[in-house]
Structure 1
């Protein structure tokens, strides 16, 4: 008697196959719908970012012609910049979720045109993620990188804008085909599906609304009650205003201010002690202070008009710019140039008081600049020298 071992079928040769995605939400229609919102957010972010950059770092030909009105202009544009940037984070995550199966397309490159298309998408995704991530870390004032944030953020903004335009140009036929509510080629979802495209879009809109509601109160003060996730609250800080850079961080102390005098350099230079400034005609204005990190709040300021100080030194308001120097030991904005339009504006003050009291040390005692439609980093604190240029 002979025994035969049972035969087992030979294992099939293994083949490397990309994963398949059958979910109806990973389609061009969903990507196009989210992409519309994301495009609007990036457009607003880019436009308001240009305003912020050129107000902070104007070219020479523009420096004396920057508008000072409306006085709340920078507060509005920078608030929009940060709010749309935060909303864009949510939208970008949903957009990437909708399109990520295309990373596993096989073959990965089908033609030269397809290779260029994928490279352009890679550039767009990398630059957009970098821009939003660094912007988010900037508003919480955490800089874990060796480069200067402002010039890099500005340069990458142009890369993002160019990448978006290139992406739209390449994908124009597909975007047009899936733009409407009922477009040919749109993948229909099964009836039994618990999560459909409309639910995803409604959920995305709700997430954007929650992020906006819980952060925009730092600049839009009627909603400050809901300001739960923003790094600043408009009412928290000495004299009712937040403080980004304290006197201790700037290396300024009360002891070092005992012999403080304001130097005003010009054709007729002079110096003033604090009592001399307090004896001059005073002006009171209500102006917002708006920071590049997105928070802003209006306050009552009292002080001496910069134009009066410039005229006394022999300067010409409306024609001469002013260089302002702080007592800060170091810092990118320790020395600030102020164009002729700001010097001439009667709302531009060398402020000595805030909300009915003398300036606190953290708010720039004994004197600081407050001017309309101007970034907070240029509202120089601890001023000790004005120079007519």
Structure 2
């Protein structure tokens, strides 16, 4: 009797479109966005942190590979935000189902939904804040974001397994079990509105990596054309403590079986090579630029290092997680990998790494080390 009284006091939702068919339609789109975001996120993580297992396996070609995968990662994550809100709107009345637990299967569904929603909101919120480089939390973003991604996928797989019968029943374009007078038209209007919202946020942000759409880049944190020498900058020379490097006293140390040191004038006197390569940053923006400098493999060869050597590069910046960078042999031996001295026909500006920086194909921008002082053959 007490349960019946309590149930009678629970909210009653009479609004349409809180049904399984609508949830399935939105869920398909959200699932596609999440799948792209997860796969490209895993790729991004191991490109940034290959460890000893992948260091010599990661390819340096295609040159635009990381630009594509990271652009898709950020774009699909942003598109998933309105899709997630729409999905939650269609299913939130079920939070008030009574009794709250009706068996083991229902309990698993409830637990998986709780973990799924919490992980999804966490991933999309922290990922969005990462694009603007704002970290209002005490933990390191990269490892936590990567770990919660796997937690999210696990909860999603459990949820899909539990809801598979309902998904099958309502996957088709027409669903007899949920069709009521007027529902089809209302559902189409709702789905179109959600699609328009996802399309709008994508169109107004994806131009930061898809440069043909840069004119629509209204809300992305970076515009591909804004910055010194026509290229955006994440970390300035002032913030890195490298804004007072004197080119007349700067020198480069190259270590190997035959170590040597070069001044800037001596480095400029070496054979110079050119590359058309993009800078592709983990925050989602990217742009191709024209680079000129000395090939890394030529520096290693002069130091007597074998062609299969890995490379460690040290920056003059005073600190930070990316002050020292290592790259595998495929990057080091690629003829497009340069110790660049010029950008778009001009000497590097301080914010772009004067006097010398690394530019390599198919690499994240955080590993395109600026203000280089040392190149080591490992």
Fold equivalence (TM over 0.5): yes
Distance 1:117 1:365 in 2: 56
Instruction: Check the 8 A contact 2:208/2:217 in 1, yes or no.
Output: yes
Normalising to structure 1: TM-score of the pair?
Answer: 0.94
Change (3 A) 1:113 1:356: same
Change (3 A) 1:111 1:15: closer
Instruction: Check the 8 A contact 2:105/2:162 in 1, yes or no.
Output: no
Q: How do 1:178-257 residues align onto structure 2 when only pairs under 5 Å count?
A: 178-188=170-180, 190-191=181-182, 196-255=186-245
Change (3 A) 1:321 1:35: same
CA drift of 1:183 comes to 2.1
Pair 1:387 & 2:346 matched: no
* Coordinate RMSD, CA, aligned: 1.5
CA drift of 1:275 comes to 0.1
Distance 2:7 2:256 in 1: 81
Counterpart for residue 42 of structure 2: 50
Give a deviation string over 1:145-184, Cα, whole Å, max 9, x none: 0000010111111111111111111100000011112223
1:67 pairs with one of 59, 65, 68: 59
Counterpart for residue 35 of structure 1: 27
2:91 pairs with one of 90, 93, 99: 99
Instruction: Check the 8 A contact 1:177/1:184 in 2, yes or no.
Output: no
Counterpart for residue 320 of structure 2: 331
Counterpart for residue 17 of structure 1: 9
Counterpart for residue 141 of structure 1: 133
CA drift of 1:113 comes to 2.4
CA drift of 1:106 comes to 1.2
Distance 1:14 1:265 in 2: 76
Counterpart for residue 338 of structure 2: 349
CA drift of 1:187 comes to 4.3
Distance 1:162 1:15 in 2: 32
Distance 2:54 2:78 in 1: 30
After TM superposition, which residue ranges in structure 1, 4 or more long, deviate above 6 angstroms? 13-16
Distance 2:148 2:278 in 1: 29
Counterpart for residue 298 of structure 1: 288
Change (3 A) 1:343 1:252: same
CA drift of 1:23 comes to 1.5
Change (3 A) 1:194 1:222: same
Of structures 1 and 2, the larger Rg is shown by: 1
Change (3 A) 1:14 1:283: closer
1:315 pairs with one of 305, 308, 319: 305
Counterpart for residue 109 of structure 2: 117
Instruction: Check the 8 A contact 2:83/2:194 in 1, yes or no.
Output: yes
Q: How many residues align?
A: 374
Change (3 A) 1:176 1:194: closer
Is the partner of 2:9 in helix, strand or coil? coil
Counterpart for residue 273 of structure 2: 283
Deviates more, 1:152-161 or 1:194-203: 194-203
Distance 2:13 2:248 in 1: 72
